Structures are given as structure tokens and as C-alpha cells.
Amino acid sequence: MPDISSLLAYGLISLGMVLTPGPNMIYLISRSICQGRTAGLISLGGVALGFVVYMVCAALGITALVMAVPFAYDALRLGGALYLVYLAWQAVKPGGRSPFQVRDLPKDSPRRLVTMGLVTNLLNPKVAVMYLSLLPQFIDPNGHGSVLVQSLALGSLQILISVSVNAVIACMAGSIAVFFVTRPGWQVLQRWLMGSVLMGLAVRMAVEGRK
């Protein structure tokens, strides 16, 4: 098992990352607002399953093999950057909507909610890059037991933090939406802030070289 200092450091970094707006957060907020907090929490189950898939793949070295191929890594990185640019434009374009704005969307079944949450997370390159670039830095192959066990322990901590924070966001999405609807100025500020953060992440992802 990793030592306490490694767990605390990794936990703080994971908390910072989950609070950064991204496809998972936007999807969960949208689903919670249009279909209720229960649907948001069910969708979160699919997102959590996606984290488990990535964690197991990283721990077993499967994702590392994919990332070792330069073309595959670049395609993932640039594709993710383009997707973030698209999300940023959706946030700031004229007539665009805030992720917290109530939308009339068709209600989906629990199975579809879980599937959409899973697919949203699996198509999020930020998650794959996070596990490959961040996880190994907190693993000690010599002094704290099996690398596989350490990887699974750290990955489980990240999933616990992500699910906990996103569950709070899903439950509070409706209240936050009301706040923004009754305060149009704050809604515009939130949209531009969200768009700026997403664009910044896109630029960073696009120019970042392979580690």
C-alpha cells in the first residue's frame, strides 16, 4: 500500500482535477437538471464504471501500451483538445446556454443513463492521460509492496473522491440552476468562466508533448 503522505498528496490532486469543469461534470449537471437528481446519480454510476475501466487498464499496463504508440497518443490528445474547444464554444456562443440552465430533454431509462455516463467518461481523454501521467508518480516499486496493489489503491481513492464530489454536484444542480436563472448576470459570468477554463485546458492539451 502507498504511504499516508502519497495518499494525501494524490487525494488533493484528484480533488483539484474533479473540480475542473469537463465533459463528465457538464453531462452530470445537464442530466440532473433535465431529469432530476436521481437520474444524475444513476448517470454517475456509469461515469464511475468508466473510472474503474481506466483504473484496471492502467494498473495492468494495457493503457500504457496504447499510449506508447505516438500516433495513438497524439490522436487521443488532439481529439480531446478539439472536443474541449467544441464545449467551450457551446458555452460562450451567442444564444448559448449555461450547463446549469434548465433544458427540455427526453427522459432516458436507467440503463441508457448508465450507458451514456460510461461512454462520456471512456471518451474523455483527460481521464486516460491522468492515470498514465499522474498515477505512476505516486507508486514506489521497491518499498510499498506490489505495484498492482498500489495502483489499485490510488485509483480507488481517485474514484471515491470523484464520485463523492460529483454526487454533491448532481444533487445541487437544480438549486444552482435556480440561482443562475434568477441572476442573469451571474449566468453570463459562469458561461464565460466555463468557456475560458475549457479553452485553456484545450490549448494545454494540444501543445503538451508526450511525457
Out of 94-98, 149-153, 160-164, give the one with best mean pLDDT: 160-164
Task: Note the pLDDT of residue 211.
Answer: 44
In a domain, 122, yes or no: yes
In a domain, 193, yes or no: no
Confidence of residue 51 (pLDDT cuts 50, 70, 90): very high
Unique residue bearing C-alpha cell 450547463:
99
Per the CB < 8 A criterion, the answer to whether 25 and 176 are in contact is no
Give the contacts of 121 (CB within 8 A, at least 6 positions apart): 23, 24, 46, 47, 49, 50, 51, 54, 127
SS3 202: helix
A 10 A CB-CB count for 108 gives: 17
Q: Total structural domains in the chain?
A: 1
State pTM to two decimals: 0.67
Give the structural domain span for 156: 4-68+99-181
In a domain, 33, yes or no: yes
Stronger pLDDT, 207 or 55, i.e. the higher one: 55
Out of 71-75, 102-106, 167-171, 207-211, give the one with best mean pLDDT: 167-171
In a domain, 167, yes or no: yes
Amino acid at 182: T
Task: Answer whether residue 97 shows pLDDT above 60.
Answer: no
In a domain, 163, yes or no: yes
In a domain, 73, yes or no: no
In a domain, 44, yes or no: yes
33 vs 90: CA distance, rounded Å:
17
Confidence of residue 140 (pLDDT cuts 50, 70, 90): confident
